[in-house]
Structure 1
Amino acid sequence: MNDAAMTPTPNDCDLPRRRADFATLTEAIDYAAASEKGLNFHDMRGTLERAYPFAEMRDDALAMARRLVASGVKKDDRIALVAETGPEFAALFCGCVYAGAWPIPLPLPTTFGGKDSYIDQLAVQLESSDPMMLLYPAEIGEMAGAAAAKQGCEGIDWESFATRPHPECALPEAAPDDICYLQYSSGSTRFPTGVAVTHRALLNNLAGHSHAMNVRDDERVVSWLPWYHDMGLVGCFLSPIANQVSADYLRTEHFARRPLAWLDLISRNPGTTLSYSPTFGYDICARRISSQSHVGDRFDLSRWRVAGNGADMIRPDVMQGFVNAFSEAGFKASAFTPSYGLAEATLAVTVMPPGEGIRVELVEEERLSGTPRDLSRPARYRAIVNCGKPVLDMDVEIRGENGAVRGDHQIGKVWCRGPSVMHSYFRNQEATDDCLVDGWLDTGDMGYMADGYLFIVGRAKDMIIINGKNHWPQDIEWAVEQLPGFNHGDIAAFSVETENGEEAPAVLVHCRVSDPDERIRLRDQIADKVRSVTGMSCVVELVPPRTLPRTSSGKLSRAKAKKLYLSGEIEPLDLRHAA
């Protein structure tokens, strides 16, 4: 590798910045390629492995596009890509777009589940998207190849694909209303479904990022987010291209092993930094550093201007823990930039104006659940995070069950409308009609507006309704997390039908103790804690660590946890011999 490849791409260049004001992604790539900026890939310790200027990425993408055409790929064919963070995926994704095909980013294997479950997951998404071929890294060839064979599409590792001939040929010209790619939503609100995103929708949302965050000329993006999830793909891969920003990447699995490498990379960043993470990323870093001293000697987070937070419910207590841990390193609480979005809106719906930080409102739990206050019990409050203002061209409304628009501080379903709302769910008209009405998208989330800002309170489909009273599962899960020994993501709450036919809350909890008597005490302690929150008895099941299922973006999947529990696939630890 030449020395130039070991020098990061620069922050500045003479090319005038354009804020994603392009008609198509191919036009955006062509423009970015005229700059010296690009993508930079780092190893687990944050050492630069490959600098990949946009010009080189474009050349590789065009060669990939010609290989696809030579392989028989036509306009509007689908090409599934296992989304490993690296130059190969970047070139293939852009190559598909140049060829007029629709790239479909699919997840890498995770440590959760096993080989068979990954093959099954890929096969389900391949069946849904019906691609012509699946391209993947050679190291997962056995699993990816099995999934491709199961679906009946061609499976080939991308090293082998890169050796195919790429003769000169005419490539189709993209139009703004053509489908650009298919994005599989994480499945936290609905069963994972392919979201069809047009060039127009994508570029509008990418312009929204740049305007909402007021991207500066000396800015750099630093990211460990996976490229199969909308926040990683759109926010941290496609947005730097369309807004001409150099970016530095750690692979997600490297972040999982060495989370502080993320902050090391930010510390070495010569410019101001844009970097996003779900709540759990900040939580992991704060926990890792808690036992270390001299934080200010190792890290310099003073140039971290936009510390984005999204993709799951934002926890003010966790964010405060991060501030406590890293203020000595120059991190400013005002850098936190909460946001709200979903794949069905391409990505961003609302973003907090930079510099305003995290702002919360304390709301009575009875108001959140829409049930009358029990005057015999003291009022309980939950801190609700302000997720910011609608991005460029986006309208947001809060609606009641009858569809009527609600006023400020009135909780209801969150609806949004704008050019970046999805075209459709691919080949699923019923699901499309279920959430798209007269151009408005029913997000499936609950929230309220106040002075032009959006506050998210939870997901409508997760609501636990018992004896006519509504309970948010987050409230139950957060209560259990306050007990010693539990981490974010150790608890899943949902409702089940008991033997007498009544509904009751059920709580599945990762258990790390082996002593039978300790397990009994732990179960009773959890039951008491839930009773103090809900006023009712619950079913508590202790399960082995790493049992609770996750969505593709790493979020807890309550719906899948319930399904696996009821089907017997999640087996609780046996406590009978200890009773």
Structure 2
Amino acid sequence: MNEPLKATPTLDALPRRYADFATLGEALDYAAGGTRGLNFHDARGTLSRPYPFAELRDDALAAARRLIAAGVKPEDRVALVAETGAEFAALFFGAVYAGAWPVPLPLPTSFGGRDSYIEQLRVQLASCEPVMLIYPPELAPMAAEAARLVGTTGVDWSEFATRDAPAAELPQADGQAIAYLQYSSGSTRFPHGVAITHHALLNNLAAHAHGMAIDGEDRCISWLPWYHDMGLVGCFLSPIANQVSVDYLKTEDFARRPLAWLDLISRHPGTSLSYSPTFGYDICARRMSSQTKAADRFDLSRWRVAGNGADMIRPDVMQAFVDAFADAGFNASAFLPSYGLAEATLAVSLMPPGEGIRVELVEETQLSGGGDLGGNDGPRPQRFRAIVNCGKPVRDMEIEVREEDGTPLPSGAIGKVWCRGPSVMVGYFRDQAATDACLVDGWLDTGDMGYMSDGYIYIVGRAKDMIIVNGRNHWPQDIEWAVEQLPGFKAGDIAAFAITTPSGEETPAVLVQCRSLDDGERTRLRDEIRERVRAVTGMNCVIELIPPRTLPRTSSGKLSRAKARNLYLNGDIKPYDIAA
């Protein structure tokens, strides 16, 4: 009779080192001396493969020898479809050991279908020009076609693993060399490969460990995709460099059964570190039946760090999660808001553990750059938005908030967020113009707007998302959140952006996913939405009701307003025909 599989342990006698290594390969070499590792679970949360770091290292060295035998040289790019599993992990580190640059690429999303996925792979492959693309066998028809279109070699990783791994001398690693290329989640039409050195990566991974006060009792649980920086860096590379065992659900399995994530957290001894964008907490809170007690299924009392990042943090969603799971032992002080981006490797700021979600109410006129918000009907009442505190700069990172002309702003003033530190990217791969546009004298223009207060950073939105009409600034989040307060709508149902009307005027357009099949009800909803948006903005906006599951998402699950706007203007998003 086969013995049940055992996960790699939480505790280990190996002395912990906080990512103080010269290279990523050296970090895995050290972690392999202990007993911790990665653990992969099936859709129901059952352990399917424990993968100790020592086994990962052996497989990675074999993969490196296979890559070298295939002609891969230092600084060559090796593109890898980033499915969560042992195969990708070994190939990623195999490329690192071979001196090549692994390039994680996304899995298909539910939006767009086969042709859309092939095109996404094609543009990213054309950007990084890899010597080969290695992919899981089930994606062979699409991935092989994308490889063919750019003239690179496509390889099924099951076939690759059967190849001989002849002895080969591995290149001498250099901490200042590029470790990998990371494509941001929204990089489809104009992809930017973020080039991160070993030194930058390990500096950021050490900052994670110190910022979260990682200790021997901690264990990481994750469903985040490995083609996004929070999943790749925060929940794959960081646990290796800081010697933490991890339990994984595939992202697609989380999407089908989100509460399996909380089952995993409940099941393991020790304290849990687990991250999610806001929508992950939202899905779990909504899945809990009001007739079911969370305490009957979950024990979340050992969840020490409930990280939140990757999109705008919604305090109302976080409160709903607390309300749903407090009786299962979840403590609201476990929430750890953060801010980061791939161009800074990952983390720019972290909330100190235990401080939880803290918000400031900011008046709408301050958020939008001031000015009289009186509309056609005169001045409107003051409106406030709750802005979440995203913590303090991580170790070695500086943050400045600046005017458009680069002048630093005082505490409390809203402007462009810039950061500087050892973990900022070298630049975008083979795109000097894009690099020069955001990197100035070592400082990175993040593209986000925010303000500093008492040493903490508050993020208010993306600069490029701001809607400017008649000289007034409006944040799309404010419009979207206003519509979400109406019955029957939820986060992710609404996208707001600016368009030009046939008369040449700029105006906000609001796309709203509508589930009603009744024409009369759709007309009522459209009129109700129009009045709600008018009350918030003082303007008459274009309101379009669209079918459910129509709004596009980035590969990390975030709403893509820019893509929604393009699809709408191109006629690819077709609104319901509603009588005026």
State the TM bucket, normalised to the shorter chain.
over 0.9
Q: Distance in 1 between matches of 2:8 and 2:84?
A: 17
Q: Distance in 1 between matches of 2:255 and 2:491?
A: 15
Question: CA shift at 1:561, angstroms?
Answer: 0.9
Q: Distance in 2 between matches of 1:161 and 1:291?
A: 49
SS, match of residue 557 in structure 2: coil
Aligned to 1:380: 383
String of CA shifts for 1:20-51, please: whole Å, max 9, x gaps: 00010000000000000000000111100000
Q: Distance in 2 between matches of 1:553 and 1:310?
A: 11
String of CA shifts for 1:185-238, please: whole Å, max 9, x gaps: 122899431100000000000000000000011100000000000000000000
2:172 paired with 1:169: no
Amino acid at match of 1:452: G
Q: Distance in 1 between matches of 2:186 and 2:222?
A: 22
Which stretch of the first structure deviates more once superposed, 480-489 or 252-261?
480-489
Aligned to 1:508: 511
Aligned to 1:422: 425
How large is the Cα RMSD of the aligned pairs? 1.3
Aligned to 1:565: 568
Aligned to 1:311: 310
Q: Distance in 1 between matches of 2:423 and 2:236?
A: 17
String of CA shifts for 1:425-464, please: whole Å, max 9, x gaps: 0010000000000000000000000111000000000000
Say if 1:188 and 1:329 are closer, same or farther in 2 by CA, change over 3 A. Answer: farther
Aligned to 2:279: 280
Aligned to 1:147: 146
Asked whether the equivalents of residues 189 and 461 of structure 1 are also in contact (C-alpha less than 8 Å), the reply is: no
Question: CA shift at 1:255, angstroms?
Answer: 0.2
Write out aligned runs for 1:314-353 (5 A).
314-353=313-352
SS, match of residue 450 in structure 2: strand
Write out aligned runs for 1:113-512 (5 A).
113-187=112-186, 191-374=190-373, 376-512=379-515
Write out aligned runs for 1:33-52 (5 A).
33-52=32-51
SS, match of residue 447 in structure 2: strand
String of CA shifts for 1:228-250, please: whole Å, max 9, x gaps: 00000000000000000000000
Write out aligned runs for 1:514-533 (5 A).
514-533=517-536
Q: Distance in 2 between matches of 1:476 and 1:428?
A: 35
Write out aligned runs for 1:23-42 (5 A).
23-42=22-41
Question: CA shift at 1:363, angstroms?
Answer: 0.3
Amino acid at match of 2:381: P
Aligned to 2:104: 105
Q: Distance in 2 between matches of 1:508 and 1:72?
A: 50
Q: Distance in 2 between matches of 1:506 and 1:125?
A: 30
2:556 corresponds, among 553, 556, 563, to 553
Say if 1:516 and 1:188 are closer, same or farther in 2 by CA, change over 3 A. Answer: farther
Q: Distance in 1 between matches of 2:564 and 2:308?
A: 25
SS, match of residue 233 in structure 1: helix
Question: CA shift at 1:2, angstroms?
Answer: 6.8
Question: CA shift at 1:488, angstroms?
Answer: 1.1
Asked whether the equivalents of residues 195 and 425 of structure 2 are also in contact (C-alpha less than 8 Å), the reply is: yes
Structure 1 runs, 4 residues or longer, greater than 3 Å off: 1-4, 188-192
SS, match of residue 287 in structure 2: helix
SS, match of residue 398 in structure 1: strand
In structure 1, list runs of 5 or more residues that go unmatched.
none
Amino acid at match of 1:433: D
Aligned to 1:11: 10
Taking structure 1 as the reference length, what is the TM-score of the superposition?
Answer: 0.98
Asked whether the equivalents of residues 187 and 193 of structure 1 are also in contact (C-alpha less than 8 Å), the reply is: no
Asked whether the equivalents of residues 123 and 188 of structure 2 are also in contact (C-alpha less than 8 Å), the reply is: no
Asked whether the equivalents of residues 348 and 394 of structure 2 are also in contact (C-alpha less than 8 Å), the reply is: yes
Amino acid at match of 2:185: S
Aligned to 2:546: 543
Asked whether the equivalents of residues 123 and 191 of structure 2 are also in contact (C-alpha less than 8 Å), the reply is: no
Aligned to 2:76: 77
Asked whether the equivalents of residues 189 and 459 of structure 1 are also in contact (C-alpha less than 8 Å), the reply is: no
SS, match of residue 574 in structure 2: coil
Question: CA shift at 1:501, angstroms?
Answer: 1.1
Question: CA shift at 1:563, angstroms?
Answer: 1.0
Asked whether the equivalents of residues 188 and 557 of structure 1 are also in contact (C-alpha less than 8 Å), the reply is: no
Question: CA shift at 1:547, angstroms?
Answer: 1.3
Q: Distance in 2 between matches of 1:298 and 1:185?
A: 36
SS, match of residue 455 in structure 1: strand
Asked whether the equivalents of residues 211 and 395 of structure 2 are also in contact (C-alpha less than 8 Å), the reply is: yes
Question: CA shift at 1:291, angstroms?
Answer: 3.2
SS, match of residue 283 in structure 1: helix
Q: Distance in 2 between matches of 1:328 and 1:404?
A: 49
In structure 2, list runs of 5 or more residues that go unmatched.
none
String of CA shifts for 1:298-330, please: whole Å, max 9, x gaps: 100000000000000000000000000000000
Q: Distance in 2 between matches of 1:165 and 1:109?
A: 30
Say if 1:80 and 1:2 are closer, same or farther in 2 by CA, change over 3 A. Answer: farther
Q: Distance in 1 between matches of 2:486 and 2:74?
A: 55
Amino acid at match of 2:548: P
SS, match of residue 119 in structure 1: helix
Asked whether the equivalents of residues 365 and 371 of structure 2 are also in contact (C-alpha less than 8 Å), the reply is: yes
Q: Distance in 2 between matches of 1:290 and 1:486?
A: 18
Question: CA shift at 1:371, angstroms?
Answer: 2.4
Q: Distance in 2 between matches of 1:223 and 1:89?
A: 16
SS, match of residue 228 in structure 1: coil
Q: Distance in 1 between matches of 2:575 and 2:505?
A: 21
Q: Distance in 1 between matches of 2:420 and 2:329?
A: 39
Q: Distance in 1 between matches of 2:453 and 2:289?
A: 36
Question: CA shift at 1:374, angstroms?
Answer: 3.5
Which stretch of the first structure deviates more once superposed, 8-17 or 322-331?
8-17
Aligned to 1:56: 55
SS, match of residue 370 in structure 1: coil
Q: Distance in 1 between matches of 2:270 and 2:150?
A: 46
Identical aligned residues as a percent: 72
SS, match of residue 118 in structure 2: helix
